[in-house]
Amino acid sequence: MTVTRGLEGVVATTSSISSIIDDTLTYAGYDIDDLAVNASFEEVIYLLWHRKLPNAEQLAELKKELAENSALPQEVIEHFKLFPMQKVHPMAALRTAVSLLGIYDDEADLMDTESNYKKAIRLQAKMPAIVATFARVRKGLEPVAPKLDLSFAANFLYMLTGKEPEAIAVEAIDKALVLHADHELNASTFTARVCVATLSDVYSGVTAAIGALKGPLHGGANEAVMKMLTEIGTLENVEPYVREKLEKKEKIMGFGHRVYRLGDPRAKHLKEMSKKLTELTGEPHWYDMSVKIENIVTGEKKLPPNVDFFSASVYHSLGVDHDLMTPIFAVSRVSGWLAHILEQYENNRLIRPRAEYTGPGMQKYIPIEQRG
């Protein structure tokens, strides 16, 4: 047996959804740089689910379906009210809420392609409402119902704040959603595929994926970056803070990647957005500190920033609570999870690797009274 720790370099499936080749990320053949500048998140959802960009009619139909399914069932809101709010992380709430949606969906266990596609729409549509509603309920605020004529990104901000968002905020969230939507066989997507490859249902697949995204080595890194920036506090503190961490061989959150070597192509778009937004909010130090950290880490360790690094200051500038940063990642990535879940069902085989055993040799059972 050859053990490949962390499955590094192992090709576990074929997929036509997204690719990372020579540090270039594409969604169904479209370069992320092209999509980041030109596409809306709704177009990207369609692209990931159908492997082609929608025409105007198809896009309008998708937007209509998403809007019509965007409200959260009252039962889920009632469950939120029972949560011990002081200690519930929004990612735990999101994981639980998606599982609850499965309980309240009569079609949860139907496995035909059409039912699964309809569940994909329902789940994608409700993700912003879950995050926004939980964020309000935990502050004692009333949930805000979605506005059906707003875009996906605008509706999320509207449900979160109760106010029609400014164009720049919508642009930033829309771009962030486009950039986070899919990423080949990343840890949470792999988790979703492993789960549904047992022929478990869509809700179970997404619930499992949220659990994987929550960790700080994956989606949880954006919140960890903001925590680090807050701890550092000033531009002068960057150098000693980062150097001490590197000397202690501690990881700097938001840097490094399993697949990219020269750099994560998504990072530059968020860097640009971070500069723009931090200037607008009159808090350019978040951007300046980030750039200083980047210079030290790339200089010392040759590790470029990943998608999570500049997204932290982007979300902070939009006034998003820091613990909502990873849930926003999930609002986007669910589009990729769902594409992969549907693809897995189309050509399924159980995913079951092996482990090399390193435990004790063969033992003989000893009755309890004879054990020391």
Ligand X SMILES: CC(C)(COP(=O)(O)OP(=O)(O)OC[C@H]1O[C@@H](n2cnc3c(N)ncnc32)[C@H](O)[C@@H]1OP(=O)(O)O)[C@@H](O)C(=O)NCCC(=O)NCCS
Active site residues: 257, 308
| Residues 101-140 within binding reach of ligand X (CB under 6 A) | none
The single residue listed with the structure tokens 């990320």 is 25
Residue with Cβ nearer ligand X (12 or 217) = 217
Shortest Cβ 300–ligand X spacing (Å): 9
CA distance 351 to 9: 17
Residue with Cβ nearer ligand X (169 or 225) = 225
Shortest Cβ 264–ligand X spacing (Å): 7
Shortest Cβ 220–ligand X spacing (Å): 8
CA distance 152 to 46: 13
How many angstroms from the chain centroid is the CA of residue 295? 26
Shortest Cβ 348–ligand X spacing (Å): 28
Considering only 32-40, 153-161, 215-223, 310-318, which stretch makes contact with ligand X by CB under 6 A? 215-223
CA distance 251 to 263: 17
CA distance 121 to 297: 41
CA distance 113 to 71: 24
Shortest Cβ 259–ligand X spacing (Å): 8
Residue with Cβ nearer ligand X (7 or 121) = 7
| Site mask for ligand X (CB under 6 A), range 271-310, x = bound | ------------------------------x-x--xxx--
Shortest Cβ 209–ligand X spacing (Å): 15
Residue with Cβ nearer ligand X (51 or 218) = 218
| Site mask for ligand X (CB under 6 A), range 220-259, x = bound | -x-----------------------------xxxxxxxx-
Alpha carbon of 256 to those of 82, 218, 252, 305, 328: distances in Å?
Answer: 39, 11, 9, 6, 21
Q: Which of 212, 290, 213 is nearest to 252 (CA)?
A: 290
Residue with Cβ nearer ligand X (307 or 342) = 307
**328-342: string of b/e by CB count within 10 Å (b at 16+)?**
bbbbbbbbbbbbbbb
CA distance 202 to 122: 11
Alpha carbon of 330 to those of 71, 95, 137, 245, 293: distances in Å?
Answer: 17, 10, 19, 29, 26
Residue with Cβ nearer ligand X (73 or 211) = 211
CA distance 252 to 297: 8
Residue nearest to ligand X (CB): 256
Considering only 126-134, 217-225, 282-290, 337-345, which stretch makes contact with ligand X by CB under 6 A? 217-225
Does 6 help bind ligand X (rule: CB under 6 A)? yes
Q: Which of 103, 111, 199, 217 binds ligand X (CB under 6 A)?
A: 217
* Number of residues in contact with ligand X under rule CB under 6 A: 17
Considering only 43-51, 120-128, 214-222, 337-345, which stretch makes contact with ligand X by CB under 6 A? 214-222
CA distance 180 to 219: 10
Binding site for ligand X (CB under 6 A): 6, 217-218, 221, 251-258, 301, 303, 306-308
